[in-house]
Homo-oligomer: A and B are copies of this chain.
Amino acid sequence: MKKKVAIVGASGYSGEELVGLLLRHPHVDLVAVTSRQNAGQPLAQIFPKFASHPRSKALRFTEPNAELLAKQADVVFLALPHGVAAEYAVPLLQGGCVVIDLSADFRLKNAEVYKEFYAHDHPAPDLLATSVYGLPEIHRDQIKQATLIASPGCYPTSILLPAIPLVKAKLVNPHSLIADSLSGVSGAGRKAEPDYLFVECNESVRPYGVPKHRHLSEIEEQLSLAAGAKITIQFTPHLIPVNRGILTTLYLAPAEHFADAAGAARFGEKIAACYRASYGHEPFVRLLEGQALPDTKNVVGTNAIEIAWRLDARTGRLIVMSAEDNLVKGASGQAVQSMNILCGFPETAGLV
């Protein structure tokens, strides 16, 4: 009765997080994990923290082989670099698998935009029409029907979940959106590059990818979809010395002008109502109340995103802040959440 699942590219940080989530998921069996560099090694050797799990000694990394995987698994997660993921998605879909891709390959509908931001031709443009952007709180119904899910990027999740309800409700001017994001170093992946050495990151904070980070493409596409118009936004990522966590601060111009504190309070009630209606029943969105502000330490290791907002009566701006674990709600947890929806499991299965 359990679904058989596999992970292609299980040796990176997102892959490792997926392994952990799927090993303890009540409704799936993890039947294959692939990794070119670790092929032949048991899971317990490469990731000692899973060594207590009964499957960790028997389950060995294999070379990735789409044909073989298509026979072994019902659902295949791709935790691969962009460009490479598509190579596996095509044969796996043909082989009858459901594919949940954590790369950027199927997040955009437009192959031209993909080329603009990723600097190479899209490897499988025909699939773009059928893929579903796997942000469950926004696209739950499409996810139920999907065979190819493009799981969102970590930064986009931290920006889109707080922004989309406001944009849809026309409470803010979407063109005004400025997103200032702070990410832990695991967001860079397990790449042995000097920039990500301990000594280079510790006691350091720095912006990067200014002003045109690749994640802008999917953020803008999703915001445009929500707004019903083409939206261009500002986004600045920063690297901070934590392992995990993204903290995003959004600056937005409210659609209404409020002349005084009373006007701001009335508008604030609309914001509050909008968020309650959108997320009041969502299991993984935590709307903060009172004086509380998001803090990554409250969400690390969980699939939750914290959201809080403040209206600034002095400037007339709305500030919205979010915190998530970049490897869970920003990557692997969200991918499992999509799988749960798609497979008809309880949406929180394996995630609480």
Contact = CB atoms under 8 A, between A and B. Distances in A.
A197 B290 CA distance: 23
Given A184-B199, A185-B198, 10 more contacts: A45-B292, A51-B298, A51-B304, A52-B283, A203-B243, A203-B244, A205-B245, A211-B317, A234-B315, A251-B251
A152 to B, nearest CB: 20
Given A180-B180, A182-B238, A317-B234, A202 B199 contact: no
Contacts of A234: 251, 312, 315, 317, 319
A338 B317 CA distance: 36
A302 B52 contact: yes
Nearest to A194: B192
A240 B286 CA distance: 22
B196 A197 contact: yes
A214 to B, nearest CB: 13
A236 interface: yes
Interface in A222-269: 232-234, 236, 238, 240-245, 247, 249, 251
A186 to B, nearest CB: 5
Please state the number of chain copies in the assembly: 4
Interface string A167-204: 00000000000101010111000111110111111111
A276 interface: no
A106 interface: no
Contacts of A182: 182, 205, 238, 240
Contact of A315 (B194, B211, B295, B310): B211
Nearest to A177: B315
B205 A48 contact: no
Given A301-B301, A302-B52, A242 B286 contact: no
A306 interface: yes
Contact of A203 (B207, B242, B311): B242
B206 A294 contact: yes
6 A-B pairs with least C-beta separation = A211-B312, A204-B297, A206-B295, A198-B201, A48-B298, A180-B180
Interface string A33-61: 00000000000010011011100000000
A18 interface: no
A190 B194 CA distance: 7
Contacts of A317: 178, 211, 234
Given A210-B319, A310-B210, A352 B192 contact: no
Contact of A243 (B199, B206, B233, B295): B199
A299 interface: yes
A114 interface: no
Contacts of A203: 203, 242-245, 296-297, 300
Contacts of A302: 49, 52
Contacts of A301: 301
13 contacts: A13-B199, A24-B352, A49-B302, A185-B202, A186-B199, A190-B194, A190-B199, A198-B200, A204-B296, A206-B296, A211-B312, A232-B315, A234-B312
